Amino acid sequence: MAAPPSFPTSPVAFCAQPPRSVGARLDFARQFVNAPSIIANMMVIFAIGVLVDALVFGRVERAVLRRRGLTVDERSSPAKVLNRREIVQAAT
């Protein structure tokens, strides 16, 4: 049974095509035991994760907290910091 024509039949044909995604690059470096490339790709994945967390999930978290009333909107009314005397007077 012959392999399909699109399937690379030799390792040279496979190596000639560089991987395009970050995950494929990480796997490619892992297969060929290229430690500096593995570490570099892991740092890229980490940086992408930090950016997505800060830009996307940070905005979603602030919107949910604001909607639930768990935070003070700095634009509308700044939070007042109470000192100890004001706390005691408010409690009595």
pLDDT tens for 15-50 read 557 678 888 999 989 988 899 999 999 999 999 999
Place of tokens 């994760």: 49
Higher-confidence residue: 62 or 75? 62
Residue 24 inside a domain? The answer is: yes
Residue 2 inside a domain? The answer is: no
Higher-confidence residue: 6 or 28? 28
* 41: exposed, middle or buried (Cβ count in 10 Å: 0-12, 13-18, 19+): buried
Residue 47 inside a domain? The answer is: yes
**8 pLDDT more than 60:** no
Number of domains composing the chain:
1
Residue 1 inside a domain? The answer is: no
pTM for the full predicted model: 0.55
How confident is residue 78, by pLDDT bands cut at 50, 70 and 90? low
Residue 3 inside a domain? The answer is: no
Give residue 40's domain range.
11-91
Residue 48 inside a domain? The answer is: yes
Place of tokens 């500096």: 36
Residue 61 inside a domain? The answer is: yes
SS3 track for the chain: CCCCCCCCCCHHHHHCCCCCCHHHHHHHHHHCCCHHHHHHHHHHHHHHHHHHHHHHHHHHHHHHHHHHCCCCCCCCCCCCCCCHHHHHHHHC
Residue 34 inside a domain? The answer is: yes
User: What is the token pair recorded at 24?
Assistant: 């494929």
**pLDDT tens column, 42-72:** 999 999 999 999 999 989 988 888 888 777 5
Asked if 28 and 19 count as a contact pair (C-beta separation under 8 A), the reply is yes
